Amino acid sequence: MATPMSANELLAALLAKGLTVVEEGNWRTHNRNSKGAWGPVNGVMIHHTVTKGTGPAATVGIVRNGYADLPGPLCHGMIAKDGRIHLIGYGRTNHAGLGDDDVLQAVVAEKQLPSDNEANTDGNRHFYGFECENLGDGKDPWPDCQLEAIEKAATAICRHHEWTAASVIGHKEWQPGKIDPHGFNMDEMRDGIDDRLGTKPARPKPPARPPFPGRGAFGPGQSNGSILLLGQQLVRRGFGKHYRVGPSKSWGEADRLNLADFQRSNKQLTGDADGYPGPLTWHILFS
């Protein structure tokens, strides 16, 4: 928990990491502070923009101005494919929305993140937000210079606040149903940040793979904890785009569609991509 960096401190911290920074318009006073508090801050949140990397101008316009139902600014900084960081706003921005209070408490304590299954806490107050230029379809590449810029930007903020990389999360780890950032692994990103900070902790062992409950546990009319586990793991793996409000214990068509997407993404499962889990799908999903 910390007082937010000043605009000057944020700019200086990014420049000190050797990043190329573009100051967009009145970014120092462009915010949503009239709608709620900004701070105390607890972490950094990473997003993707769902825009094509044909040049940052259009993306900058979107994250500065927002949409009719989601006014800008939509982030503090937009990290383009060329690695440049465009400063968009300073203060409260519309990037995080409502998320899970248990996740926030884990970020504050810098502990392993729980599954996000609620949307009950204002994230715009507590997180710095970086939108990163990418379609988010799992096919659009993430250039090395862009990934390095994300890592360095998060490192700069963590160093200022004396945080570890456990204070850096993806939108998909905060709000149920979100999949961003899609296309790179957040644990690997955190490892890189901790390497730069010199604070790399011993990573806890991943939880044991839950036993496969049998095919009969999944399908129309079924409701049980295994369905919720399946949905949460699909979101964690970046295959939750068909959920509107996140997974639940009740089987729905969104579960089937998300699982089918996962099956089609794995060469071992493409021959059986019907959206229903068998033992092999379960084993690979929870690997």
User: Does residue 97 surpass a pLDDT of 80?
Assistant: yes
The domains found in the chain, sorted by start residue, are 7-197 (3.40.80.10), 215-285 (1.10.101)
Mean pLDDT of 193-217: 82
- Which residues are paired to 87 by β-bridges? 23, 77
Q: How far is CA 287 from its chain centroid?
A: 20
User: Does residue 54 surpass a pLDDT of 90?
Assistant: no
Lookup: tokens for 160: 């200022």
pLDDT of residue 65: 96
Residue for token pair 């214990």:
249
Distance between CA atoms of residues 25 and 7, nearest Å? 13
Cα R_g (the chain), whole angstroms: 19
Average pLDDT, the chain: 94
Residue for token pair 């903020």:
157
pLDDT tens digit sequence for 120-171: 999 999 999 999 999 999 899 999 999 999 999 999 999 999 999 999 999 9
Question: Residue 264: which of 244, 234, 236 has the closest Cα?
Answer: 234
Q: Which of 29-33, 112-116, 265-269, 279-283 has the highest mean pLDDT?
A: 29-33
pLDDT of residue 205: 59
Confidence of residue 177 (pLDDT cuts 50, 70, 90): very high
pLDDT of residue 13: 98
User: Does residue 90 surpass a pLDDT of 60?
Assistant: yes
More confident residue, 202 or 269: 269
